[in-house]
Structure formats: C-alpha cells, structure tokens
Structure 1
C-alpha cells in the first residue's frame, strides 16, 4: 500500500492556510513541531519511554514501549509515581513555536494537540475566548470522567462554558498543564478503547466542531497502533479532505496503510518547510 501524494504541495498548503483562517480545517498537532527546536523535553514516545526507563528499572518487555513502561510503574510503584515521573519529564516548559502562535492568532474553532507538553495552551495564554478539554485517566475507580474542561486560568469548568467560545483546544491524551492529566499506561487506554468506537470518550463539543471539517496533521507520528486509533476516532465523521505533512520515504508500512485507509493525502516534504509555507500562505 502507498499513501496518496500531491503533485502540487505548495498550492495545497497555500489553500490550507486560507481555509485555516476561515475555520474550515482542524489542525491536529504532534510533538514533531517542537522537536524541530531540539528541546530537552521528550517529544517522541521512544524518548519518553527512555526517560521512564532511566528512572525505574523496567523488565525487557516494557523497555522502549512507553505505554507498557508506564503500566509496569503503575502496577509496581503506584499511579502517583507515574504522575510524578510524567510531571518531571515535562517540567521544563516547551516554548510555543511560530506555528503554535500563528494558530493562536487565527483562533480556529477546534485545535487538537496530541502531546503532553502544553505548547498550544501556552500560545493561547493571555487571550480570551477559548477553553481546553483534556482526556483524563480513570485510575481512580470512583472517578467516572473521560475528560475535563479548563478555563484559560486553569480552573476547571463545565462543558457548557466551551459552547460559545471561539476556540476549543482538545488535548486527547492529557497534558502537563494545567492539572497534570495523563493518559499514558496500557490500563488508561484499555479503559478508553473499550468505548471509543461509540465515541463516548470524545467530548460532544469536539464532535460538534469537527463536523464537516478537514483535518491537517502536522508533526504527528503514526508508527504506533494506539496513536493511529486515536487519530482515527478523533477525525471520525468529520467530512472533508484530510492532509498530513510527512516525508513519505520514511513512513512505515503501517503508516502508509493508515493514510490510505483514512483517505489522508500526504504532503511529502520536510515539516519545517511546510510550516514556513503555511505561515507565508
């Protein structure tokens, strides 16, 4: 299987920039954007797995697999240890990139930030008219929540507070800010994946705002089945043509299959070049 590749990527990126300004495209942001700045904060699942492995001696089966590593730590050291290590991993703030700041100025109806470092929240900081919704683990049995909503100042709020806002920031895997919610262990995702096909863990306001929209994936890695599953469910029933900035020669077979199955057209170029074109578009 091969991903569909554009013959005219510059024209498509210029059109996507126009559509982003019009609120017709949902930017789906991955850690690859901040990885361009060579931050010491772990910005890949492999780097985060290495960080956890440097703090806790892991069995061979968990080495290099961030979800299994977190599960082992949760099982043998308690959930509080997982949370403390995640807070340590992301303690150094990652500065928003020019792309994050540009998107904050555009104030699109929906932005998805798929990593834990919180750059998009920082880019929106100081602005009005936005609310964040984060995926949250349910390791505490008495907690029924799949997600929580937060105001710009970090206080928790009800979903109704998001309904009239210009921008909804969606961090489906959680984030370091404002409250340190993290979906990270195998058990976290087993909980979610049992119901994600019927969309229960996806906030209704996210589902409403994605309707009829295209998705643009930037800085995302799809070399892990869990990340592919999440992206597939977040964009479910959205409508429109979807795009991903990737370097096709470096994709795995599973990544190519994912792009083809989801009808995501590959914009085949280095991420930094594509971002520059978007900002100039």
Structure 2
C-alpha cells in the first residue's frame, strides 16, 4: 500500500465519502479475556465453536450458514441463536485494534457483517442509529429493525436520523435484543428481500448513492458473503472502492474485476499501522 493511497483512504473514511465494510479479519487480534482463545469470527472457527470444537462433515464445513442450517434442522433455530448470543453477548473479549482505530476516526456510516458488539461499543459515547438485519419474521414487509441510541440506551424507531452516525449490522447482533442471520434459510430470505429493496431503510438507499467502500478483513471466496456484499454496495460510485486482501486467490481477483473493486494486496493492520498479528485471515 502506497502512502498516497493510505492517506486517500483515511481521508475518505473520515469525511464519509468512503464507507468501511467490516469482515471477520478485523477481529483477528481479539481473544477471550479469561482463556486467551481467539474469538470465533470466520466461517471455520464459528462452525468449530458451534460444534464443541469438533469438525463437522466436509460438506457442512464449507460455509457457516450450511452448518447452522444443519444444527437448526436437528435442534431448532433457537439453538443457533443461543450459541451466537452466548459467544458474542455473554463472553468477555479483548478489544480489536481495528475498532479502537475506527473509534478515533468515527466514520458516519459503517457496515459490519460480524455479529459481535465491538462496533457498537466504539460508538457507545455517541448518539447513533443502528440497523439490524432480520429474517423469516412475520408481520413485516421489511428485513431490518431500526434503533436510536441516545448515549445511554437503544430505543426502537421507525426512521433514521441522518444527522447521526449509522451503524449497519446486517447479520445481526446480541444487543439491544438478539437477532441473527445465520442459517441457509435465513440467508435465502434476507438476500431475496435485499435484492428486492426491503432490507435497507429508505434513508440509507439515498445516503449510499455514489459512495465508495473499503472492505476490511473480508475474503471474497464464498458465494453467500459475496452476494450480500454486492447488494449492499448497490448504487456505489464507479469504481466501487477497494478491498484489502494480503494474498488474494485468482477467484478473488476475478470477482474484484467483475464488481469494480480495486484489489490492494495488504491487510487492515497495514492500513491502521497497528503492527502485525500472528493470526492471519483464513483463506
């Protein structure tokens, strides 16, 4: 990464012209405060954690939504939700360097496909909007819940205050109330409504026009994450932005060319200048 590009990215993140899009790799340095075990964030580590640190069948190990669907069919949807709430809502984790860095920059709009709460914690001192993705919920045409944070607590809202920062957690979060997109069935419903325009609030549809995006900690080898990302980046500028991948595969190179993302062969820790971490992003 050149100094010129780094300065351009930092400037754009600060003024809101570039939107950070956070994947599992931003949590690469996070560990359990009690045991020292790394946080399960990427697909493989989530599957292992959900299955008592034991691998599942090869066809289920391919992707977390597939493994979560298997658990849901055997033990019910609530079993997956309880696992995610226990992992991200009840376990104490150390802070991620990326989230401390984002807290200092305070971008006005952030998309975070992880299910942990560190992004929300970074904005805990500031009033903000929170958008949480939902799936397979009757009684609503939309696939999101809106909350307003007043500096103390979250409150349900029907509209977004565009003057405040917007945190978008499409795959869910344990707070203020647990809600997750996890299994194949969740993703089928969510992506269908995302493509139809029912998973993004109108204010965000207007806000995102002409934005560029910086994908951080996200590999682009898996179809489900690529489909979600492509729809969330709809109406982006041309080119759409940048993705940081230290050792990209040929599949990732082709996909980036297709969707108009500039591939930067570095990772998020190069950008934030926080030193290297021993745990690399999984391929």
Interval of TM-score (by shorter of Structure 1 and Structure 2): 0.7 to 0.9
Query: Aligned pair in 2 of structure 1 residues 143, 93: CA closer, same or farther (>3 Å)?
Result: farther
**Residues 176-204 of structure 1 deviation map (CA, whole Å, 9 limit, x = unaligned):** 22212110000001112223323222222
The residue that corresponds to 1:49 in the other structure is 47
| Residues 103 and 122 in structure 2, CA contact (< 8 A), matched pair in contact too | yes
The residue that corresponds to 1:4 in the other structure is none
Query: Aligned pair in 2 of structure 1 residues 176, 114: CA closer, same or farther (>3 Å)?
Result: same
Query: Aligned pair in 2 of structure 1 residues 156, 76: CA closer, same or farther (>3 Å)?
Result: farther
Query: Aligned pair in 2 of structure 1 residues 178, 11: CA closer, same or farther (>3 Å)?
Result: same
**Residues 81-132 of structure 1 deviation map (CA, whole Å, 9 limit, x = unaligned):** 111111122232444434323433433231011101121101111222x111
| Residues 21 and 106 in structure 1, CA contact (< 8 A), matched pair in contact too | yes
More displaced 10-residue stretch of structure 1: 41-50 or 96-105? 96-105
Give the length in aligned residue pairs: 265
The residue that corresponds to 2:222 in the other structure is 224
Aligned pairs (5 A) from 1:152-163: 152=149, 153-160=152-159, 162-163=160-161
Matching of residue 99 in structure 1 with residue 92 in structure 2: no
Query: Aligned pair in 2 of structure 1 residues 216, 12: CA closer, same or farther (>3 Å)?
Result: same
| Residues 129 and 148 in structure 2, CA contact (< 8 A), matched pair in contact too | yes
Unaligned runs of 5+ in 2: 33-37, 275-283
Query: Aligned pair in 2 of structure 1 residues 96, 203: CA closer, same or farther (>3 Å)?
Result: farther
The residue that corresponds to 2:233 in the other structure is 235
The residue that corresponds to 1:168 in the other structure is 166
The residue that corresponds to 2:35 in the other structure is none
**Residues 213-243 of structure 1 deviation map (CA, whole Å, 9 limit, x = unaligned):** 1101111121210000111111111214401
The Cα shift of 1:22 comes to 1.5
Q: Partners of 1:254 and 1:156 in 2: how far apart?
A: 42
The Cα shift of 1:150 comes to 1.9
Matching of residue 261 in structure 1 with residue 258 in structure 2: yes
TM-score, normalised via structure 1 length: 0.85
Report which structure shows greater RCO (CA 8 Å, sep ≥6): 1
The Cα shift of 1:143 comes to 5.5
The residue that corresponds to 2:73 in the other structure is 75
Greater helix fraction, Structure 1 or Structure 2 = 1
118, 134, 137: which is aligned to 1:136? 134
Q: Partners of 2:96 and 2:61 in 1: how far apart?
A: 31
The Cα shift of 1:24 comes to 1.0
More displaced 10-residue stretch of structure 1: 37-46 or 223-232? 37-46
Q: Partners of 1:111 and 1:262 in 2: how far apart?
A: 20
Q: Partners of 1:83 and 1:181 in 2: how far apart?
A: 7
The Cα shift of 1:258 comes to 1.6
What secondary structure, in the 3-state scheme, does the structure 2 residue paired with 1:61 have? helix
What secondary structure, in the 3-state scheme, does the structure 2 residue paired with 1:132 have? strand
| Residues 30 and 115 in structure 1, CA contact (< 8 A), matched pair in contact too | yes
Query: Aligned pair in 2 of structure 1 residues 55, 198: CA closer, same or farther (>3 Å)?
Result: same
Taking only aligned residues, the RMSD between alpha carbons, in angstroms, comes to 2.3
